[in-house]
Amino acid sequence: MSGLSRTTTAILIWLLLLTMPYWMGALGGYTELGSRVLVLGLAAMSLNFLLGFTGVLSFGHAAYFGLGAYGVGMTLKYLAPSTPLGILVGVAVGALAAALIGALIVKLRGVYFAMVTIAFGQVFFFIAFRWNSVTGGDDGLTGWSRQPLNLGFGNIDIAGNGTAFYYLVLALFAAAVGIMAVLLRSPFGRTLLAIRENERRARFLGIPVEQHIWLSFVISCLFVALAGTLYALLNNFTDPRALRWDQSGNFVIMAVLGGMRSFWGPLIGAAIFVVLQDYVSSHTENWMSFIGLFFVLVVLFFPRGVLGIIRRKAAS
Amino acid sequence: MTQLILFNIFNGLIVGAFYALMALGLSLILNLSGVINFAHGGFLAIGAYIAYTLMPYVGFWGALLVAPFLTAALGLVVERVLIRRVYGRDPLYSLLLTFGLAYIFEDGTRYIWGAQSLPYPIPGWLATPLSSEMFFLTGYRLFMVALVAVAVAGLFFILNRTRLGMRIRAGTLDLETVSVLGVNVRILRNLNFGLGIYLAGLAGVLAAGMLGLQPTIGTSLIMPSFVAIIVGGLGSLPGTLLGGLLIGVASGITTVFFPSATEAVMYVMMGVVLLVRPRGLLGEEGRIH
């Protein structure tokens, strides 16, 4: 891939995202669907920071996504009617939990890392599910909604205006994605790639592998938590399913479907997944079977993802 | 109070026996083939529903005998057609594959047998409590514990005393060498997978008698099985057994004092184990990498 085409891809993606509310309707979609693609795309790209660029398989990212979602919901419900504060709390809670759990698991690798992350993810599911009086239990956390942004000189009505909310999501998405891109180009990011390619050699070079993986895990979870807060704000609602294991699996399939080795791949994977799920679940009750079949087909026939295939074609 | 605690310890033991049965099957497959079988819970549910369907024709005992074997047969086919394709690839792919299968199984059982829960009749003499003081001690519960014990003993007999078991154990340590020595590794992995699924099917039939049938019956048992494997020690089957019983009893006891933490307690245990002994209680050193 030449540098030029990579820049072209990025410009094209940003243009599409910036104009989304104007062409989404013409294609039969709706702005909320666009916001959902962006939010889940952010989650998948954050997961891919760990999965694709550090080479560590986490299958429990829904936990941090859900922590973000509950963090923002509970802040708005119990603490103060401030959207930015809610987002901050949600992200902080998610990152803190990741820092603690990450410290417990950085020594594990491969399948075992995956298994432990899955299992730990369930803790938060059960807390949300069982702690009825605070979290609303199985019915979810209701009785709150996103509040207009107060910028001092005026309000931005993200509460009533879906398009305004879309642009808030896009702004935060841009910030998060920008930070991740910068990190990946920094010496820290290069070190992560080195660990992915050959952990043993990285260790021989004196790189503190565990610390790097821990930090990568925390960064990844922090942005997933951000996505979680936006997801809850988008729906003005959250329930335990936001942090259940099937949600983690969805993030992983988005990353794989789009292409784990590419920066933008997971966003494309998320777009395909969200549109497909939207379509299938409105046409059949047995959408689970279709999604399951989709997983199987992706694994068997598209393990490199959409962008992986395009790159391979371009290279040959 | 003593009675309540006894009741919950015994209850925990039963639940732990289920976890152990599930986790042993998962462990077998994980150790030999490096595949985390997310669909294990789905196989458990299918085992239960097969038994339910067969019962009118072959009776309770017939279903108990046949259903796990049919489930295992399905496992052999699934391994042959799908799972085999992801051996040796990044564990990511086996996780996603079995994850998709879990979706299909859960939805499939719902489609075929309905979403509402179904009662699973057990023989009357097994359902009655053994004494009025120990009201919780029904014959069925004792029978379940006994049967799980027999199944586990059978599994360890197969692993330690038969040629197949010896090959499985050898393959767990070094599959390549086993292959070079002339063992057909494809068949070995296939049979090993079937063995694991047999245990899931058996757990399904037993669980149906206690909990009734619902499509999500397996999903609720699979996470604790992961915890059992991690607590007990990666790569160690006795560890898995111990882990399953331990977390079962722990959540049983927690139910008495702090009911809402019933599920959370096992994850706390996992956290503690990972902190002080990352390889698990009976895990071998070096397996975690």
* Chain A closest-CA separation from residue B82 CA (Å): 8
Dist. CA B219–CA A288, nearest whole Å: 14
Task: Tell me the pTM.
Answer: 0.90
Q: pLDDT band for B289, please (50, 70, 90 cuts).
A: very low
Out of A107, A286, A294, name the one closest to residue B278 (CB). Answer: A107
Residue B47 within a domain: yes
| Chain A residues within 8 A of B95 when measuring between CB atoms | 57, 59, 111, 114, 249, 252
| Chain B residues within 8 A of A252 when measuring between CB atoms | 92, 95-96
* Chain A closest-CA separation from residue B78 CA (Å): 12
| Chain A residues within 8 A of B34 when measuring between CB atoms | 111
User: Residue B120, class by beta-carbon neighbours within 10 Å (0-12 exposed, 13-18 middle, 19+ buried)?
Assistant: buried
| Chain A residues within 8 A of B103 when measuring between CB atoms | 246, 288-289, 291-292, 295
Dist. CA B191–CA A167, nearest whole Å: 55
Nearest residue of A to residue B33, measured between CA atoms: A111
Nearest residue of A to residue B265, measured between CA atoms: A123
Report phi then psi at A141, rounded to 5.
Answer: -95, 110
pLDDT, tens only, A34-83: 999 999 999 999 999 999 999 999 999 999 999 999 999 999 999 888 88
Our measurement of the distance from residue B164's CA atom to the centroid of its chain's CA atoms, rounded to an integer in Å, reads 20
Q: pLDDT band for B85, please (50, 70, 90 cuts).
A: very high
Tell me if B8 sits within 8 A of B136, measured CB to CB: no
**Domain enclosing residue B119, as ranges:** 10-220
Instruction: Please indicate if any CB of chain B lies within 8 Å of the CB of A131.
Output: yes
Residue B147 within a domain: yes
Q: What is the DSSP letter of A146?
A: -
pLDDT computed for residue B235 by the predictor: 83
**Fold type of domain A3-315:** ABC transporter involved in vitamin B12 uptake, BtuC (1.10.3470)
Statement: residue A109 has pLDDT above 60 = yes
* Chain A closest-CA separation from residue B163 CA (Å): 28
| Chain A residues within 8 A of B92 when measuring between CB atoms | 51, 57, 114, 252, 256
Residue B29 within a domain: yes
Statement: residue A3 has pLDDT above 60 = no
pLDDT computed for residue B134 by the predictor: 65
Instruction: Please indicate if any CB of chain A lies within 8 Å of the CB of B95.
Output: yes
Inter-chain CB proximity A122 and B267 less than 8 Å = yes
Closest CA to B215 of B72, B25, B41: B41
Statement: residue B111 has pLDDT above 60 = yes
* Chain B closest-CA separation from residue A247 CA (Å): 11
Inter-chain CB proximity A131 and B271 less than 8 Å = no
- Interface mutation target, options A61, A138, A289, chain B, most CBs of B under 10 Å: A289
Inter-chain CB proximity B264 and A292 less than 8 Å = no
Q: What average pLDDT does chain A have?
A: 89
CB atoms within 10 A of CB B200: 33
- Find where tokens 């896009």 sit: A170
Q: Between residues 107 and 136 of chain B, which touch chain A (CB distance below 8 Å)?
A: 107-108, 111
Statement: residue B119 has pLDDT above 50 = yes
Residue B243 within a domain: no
Dist. CA A132–CA A138, nearest whole Å: 8
Question: What residues does A141 pair with on adjacent strands?
Answer: A238
| Chain B residues within 8 A of A296 when measuring between CB atoms | 82, 97, 100-101, 104
| CA distance from start to end of chain A | 11
What residue spans define the domains of chain A?
3-315
Residue B235 within a domain: no
CB atoms within 10 A of CB A181: 14
Q: pLDDT band for A129, please (50, 70, 90 cuts).
A: confident
Inter-chain CB proximity B223 and A245 less than 8 Å = yes
Q: How many CB pairs under 8 A join A and B?
A: 124
How many percent of chain B have pLDDT more than 90? 58
Task: Look up residue B76 and give its two tokens.
Answer: 């052999």
Tell me if B245 sits within 8 A of B285, measured CB to CB: no
How many percent of chain A have pLDDT more than 70? 97
Weakest mean pLDDT among A202-216, A296-310, B133-147: B133-147
pLDDT computed for residue A2 by the predictor: 47
pLDDT, tens only, B221-249: 888 999 999 999 888 899 999 999 999 99
- What value does the mean pLDDT take over residues A162-185? 94
Inter-chain CB proximity B95 and A252 less than 8 Å = yes
3-class DSSP assignment, residue A25:
helix
Report phi then psi at A206, rounded to 5.
Answer: 90, 15
Q: Between residues 13 and 72 of chain B, which touch chain A (CB distance below 8 Å)?
A: 30, 34, 36, 38
Statement: residue A211 has pLDDT above 70 = yes
Number of compact structural domains in chain B:
1
* Chain A closest-CA separation from residue B249 CA (Å): 18
pLDDT, tens only, B213-223: 988 888 888 88
| Chain A residues within 8 A of B230 when measuring between CB atoms | 112, 115-116, 119
Q: Under 8 Å CB-to-CB from A100, ≥6 apart: which residues?
A: none
Angle of CA points A128, A243, A76, to nearest 5°: 60
User: Residue B133, class by beta-carbon neighbours within 10 Å (0-12 exposed, 13-18 middle, 19+ buried)?
Assistant: exposed
Render the burial of B70-106: b for 16+ CB within 10 Å, e for the rest. bbbebbbebbbebbbebbeebbbbbbbbbbbbbbbbb
Q: Which helix (H) or strand (E) holds A113?
A: helix A110-130
Out of B91, B97, B103, name the one closest to residue A110 (CB). Answer: B91
Out of B91, B261, B275, name the one closest to residue A111 (CB). Answer: B91
Instruction: Please indicate if any CB of chain A lies within 8 Å of the CB of B202.
Output: no
Count CA atoms within 13 Å of residue A230 on its CB side.
Answer: 28
Inter-chain CB proximity B107 and A289 less than 8 Å = yes
pLDDT, tens only, A11-38: 999 999 998 888 887 777 788 889 999 9
Task: Look up residue B124 and give its two tokens.
Answer: 């009357």
Inter-chain CB proximity A252 and B278 less than 8 Å = no
pLDDT computed for residue B11 by the predictor: 85
pLDDT computed for residue B76 by the predictor: 97
| Chain A residues within 8 A of B82 when measuring between CB atoms | 296, 300
Render the burial of A80-119: b for 16+ CB within 10 Å, e for the rest. eeebeebbbbbbebbbbbbeebbebbbbbbbbbbbbbbbb
pLDDT computed for residue A14 by the predictor: 93
Dist. CA A138–CA A130, nearest whole Å: 8
* Chain B closest-CA separation from residue A72 CA (Å): 23
